[in-house]
């Protein structure tokens, strides 16, 4: 249920309503819009007697939310959520580019890539230090040393960083180094991990599970939001279909669907979405045209030698070319880049 307060409701009236909700054993989440405050009421037991709130001072109306996701939906928070990461605003008018290698492989590799993507116009540096590999015999990432290299790259270039966290016990360590915590596709429904990042104060980059519906994905976002962390962005990275020509099927539909249902920023990942570097530019443009707030793109100085995902990684000059082309697409849909 949400309780929509009148535009003129006073602080005291809001506090009284919140107090009553809490005494009934429900959890309160506040959405403070420009015009009015919306009080989100969530809990495990069904809410009976909604009308008692309708009569309270300052209350305009109460609304039962029919969708299973509550805090992720537009009923609770109508305006787009904009997440500020050290001055980079994700979810606003500007298309945000997150670029870098799949894995941090060495100091030289990462610093070279960081400078190249920055010069090309990227806003955020990506790079995995803890890698969720399908095979235990594949490169598993550099771990904490990789995080230190990412932090050095941020220091040098000024680019905030996004990197994956794979387990609840890693959250504190990764949050110490990273500006954004990435939850990978394989962990989208790792509820212990979602709880843990929900209790951290870092923005969360939630990738879609490769076999997850949009509703399941929004329910995973709900785990993070309901723990009090409202800074969540959703990344469409392709789903598994019968098609084997591409690694995954990038679900372009999901982008406008999410923009309708949710206020959270939506990012497209054409690298994992296709698995092929020569399909990245076309699908990146499609994401922006469809309404994505940003892109995550894998870039490697020498893709043939990459320790992970070389086949889908762009060389720096190809990334720079793509950024130039994306500017026209962004302008065509009324966005800045």
Cβ 182 to ligand PEP shortest distance, Å? 7
Contact between 25 and 77 under an 8 Å Cβ cutoff? The reply is no
Among 160, 184, 198, 275, the residue binding ligand PEP under the rule CB under 6 A is 184
User: Which 78-107 residues touch Mn ion, going by CB under 5 A?
Assistant: 102
Q: Is 207 in the site for ligand PEP (CB under 6 A)?
A: yes
Query: What residues have CB less than 8 Å from 223, skipping those under 6 apart?
Result: 191, 194, 195, 198
DSSP state of 336: B
Q: What is the DSSP letter of 90?
A: E
- Per the listing, tokens 């109306």 go with 61
| Nearer to ligand PEP (CB atom), residue 91 or residue 101 | 101
CB nearer to Mn ion: pick between 293 and 309: 309
DSSP 3-state of 60: strand
Q: How far is the CB of 150 from ligand PEP (least distance, A)?
A: 13
Tell the smallest beta-carbon distance from residue 309 to Mn ion (Å): 4
Q: Which stretch binds ligand PEP (CB under 6 A): 180-188, 191-199, 214-222, 316-324?
A: 180-188
Binding status of residue 306 toward ligand PEP by CB under 6 A: no
Measured CA to CA, the distance from residue 79 to residue 264 in angstroms comes to 9
Q: Which range touches ligand PEP (CB under 6 A), out of 3-11, 78-86, 153-161, 181-189?
A: 181-189
* Cβ pair 307, 64 in contact under 8 A: no
CB of 232 to Mn ion, least distance (A): 21
Please work out the total of residues on this chain that contact ligand PEP, with binding judged by CB under 6 A: 9
Structure tokens at 209: 């599970």
Helix/strand/coil percent split, the chain, to 5: 40, 20, 40
Task: Give the Cα separation of 223 and 193 in Å (integer).
Answer: 10
For residue 54, the minimal CB distance to ligand PEP (Å) is: 44
Closer to ligand PEP by CB, 268 or 316: give it.
268
| Distance from C-alpha of 279 to C-alpha of 39, rounded to nearest angstrom | 44
Contact between 309 and Mn ion (CB under 5 A)? Answer: yes
Q: Residue 249 has what DSSP assignment?
A: B
Nearer to ligand PEP, 4 or 174 (CB): 174
Question: Which residue among 123, 272, 285, 318 contacts ligand PEP (CB under 6 A)?
Answer: 272
CA 113/CA 5 separation, integer angstroms: 49
Contact residues: ligand PEP, CB under 6 A: 102, 128, 132, 184-186, 207, 237, 272
Contact residues for Mn ion (CB under 5 A)?
102, 309
């Amino acid at each position: 249920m949400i309780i929509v307060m009148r535009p003129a409701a006073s602080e005291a009236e809001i506090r009284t309503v919140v107090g009553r909700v809490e005494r009934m054993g429900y959890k309160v989440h506040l959405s403070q819009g420009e015009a009015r405050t919306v009080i989100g009421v969530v809990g495990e037991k069904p809410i009976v007697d909604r009308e008692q709130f309708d009569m309270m001072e300052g209350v305009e109306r109460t609304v039962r939310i029919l969708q299973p996701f509550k805090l992720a939906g537009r009923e609770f928070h109508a305006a787009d959520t904009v997440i500020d990461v050290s001055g980079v605003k994700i979810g606003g008018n500007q298309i945000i580019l997150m670029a870098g290698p799949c894995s941090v492989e060495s100091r030289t590799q990462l610093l070279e890539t960081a400078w190249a993507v920055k010069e090309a116009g990227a806003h955020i540096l990506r790079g995995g230090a803890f890698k969720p590999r399908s095979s235990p015999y594949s490169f598993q990432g550099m771990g904490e040393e990789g995080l230190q290299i990412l932090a050095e790259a941020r220091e040098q270039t000024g680019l905030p960083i996004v990197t994956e966290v794979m387990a609840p016990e890693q959250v504190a360590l990764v949050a110490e180094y990273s500006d954004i915590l990435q939850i990978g596709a394989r962990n989208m429904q790792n509820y212990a991990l979602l709880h843990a990042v929900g209790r951290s104060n870092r923005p969360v980059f939630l990738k879609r599970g490769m076999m997850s519906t949009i509703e399941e994905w929004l329910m995973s976002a709900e785990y993070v939001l309901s723990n009090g962390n409202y800074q969540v962005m959703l990344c469409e990275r392709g789903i598994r279909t019968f098609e084997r020509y591409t690694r995954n099927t990038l679900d372009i539909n999901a982008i406008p669907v999410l923009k309708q249902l949710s206020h959270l920023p939506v990012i497209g990942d054409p690298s994992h979405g296709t698995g092929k570097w020569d399909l990245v530019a076309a699908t990146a443009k499609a994401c922006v045209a469809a309404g994505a707030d940003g892109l995550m793109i894998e870039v490697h100085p020498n893709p043939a030698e990459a320790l992970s995902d070389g086949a889908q990684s762009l060389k720096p000059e190809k990334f720079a070319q793509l950024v130039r082309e994306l500017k026209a697409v962004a302008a065509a849909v009324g966005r800045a880049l």
